[in-house]
Amino acid sequence: MLRSRRSTIYLLLLVMMLGALTFPTRGAPASPTSRLPGKSLDEIEAMIRNKGAQQTVHTLYDQDVAWDLLREQVAKGQPRWLKAGATLYGAADSGAKQMLAHSLAEALIPAAALEMTLASQHTLKITDVCIGLDVDDDRFSTYEAAAKALRQTIASVQRVNSPELQSYKEECLRQLAQQESSLSAFFGHAH
């Protein structure tokens, strides 16, 4: 009796452990066809309108796939994604805020003028996004890759010609110049 009870317990533990390995983990969809909230821009915008930006950040941040999609799309600098990212950035805290800041920083390459316009509308603070790129991202994890991306960012900001954005452009270029020095120091590269 004792032996069969022990065997039953071991069998239950084994089944539970195997079940934990086969069920979806946090952030993974239950099946390839299931939808995650926030997977599309329309869904994210609806979540912001209906639940508020802060709750939307928490919901997306807890879902790895949706959060990564948001960050990738914001970094591409498309206007609606960038506006959604800026709105969520304003409501984010800690790690989520830092991650969005890096996505917004990357978006300076394709959309510097739009980001400066958002800053002029008080949606973003230009000093929060003119920070250089995330050296923890594998794409920028070497001095050469990070320096190249920073040069591209600077060139994009320099192309902003709108007179009403001039002060934002100048501040951003000052911030990025400081990042250039920090980058050299971080990687131990003589400038």
How does pLDDT run across 141-186, given as a tens digit for each residue? 899 999 999 999 999 999 999 999 999 999 999 999 999 888 888 8
What the block records as the tokens of 138 is 């594998």
For residue 37, what pLDDT is reported? 56
Rounded to two decimals, the pTM is: 0.77
Q: Is the pLDDT of residue 25 over 90?
A: no
Residues 159 and 170: their CA atoms lie apart, in Å, by 12
Q: Is the pLDDT of residue 89 over 90?
A: yes
Give the residue, 24 or 181, on which the prediction is more confident.
Answer: 181
Q: Under the phi-then-psi rule, with left for phi > 0, alpha for psi from -120 to 50, and beta for the rest, what region is 77?
A: left
pLDDT bracket for residue 190 (50, 70, 90): low
Predicted confidence at residue 132, as pLDDT, reads 81
**Which single residue is written with the structure tokens 């000052």?**
174
**CA 16 – CA 40 distance, rounded (Å):** 34
Query: CB within 8 A of 70, min separation 6: which ones?
Result: 38, 44, 60, 81, 84, 85, 88, 103
> What integer pLDDT is reported at residue 38 of this predicted model?
57
Q: Answer whether 146's CB lies under 8 Å from 187's CB.
A: yes
Q: First-to-last CA distance in the chain?
A: 76
Please indicate whether residue 133 or residue 149 has the higher confidence score (pLDDT).
Answer: 149
Residue 180: its pLDDT value, please? 85
- Percentage of the chain exceeding pLDDT 90: 64
Residue 4 has pLDDT above 90, yes or no: no
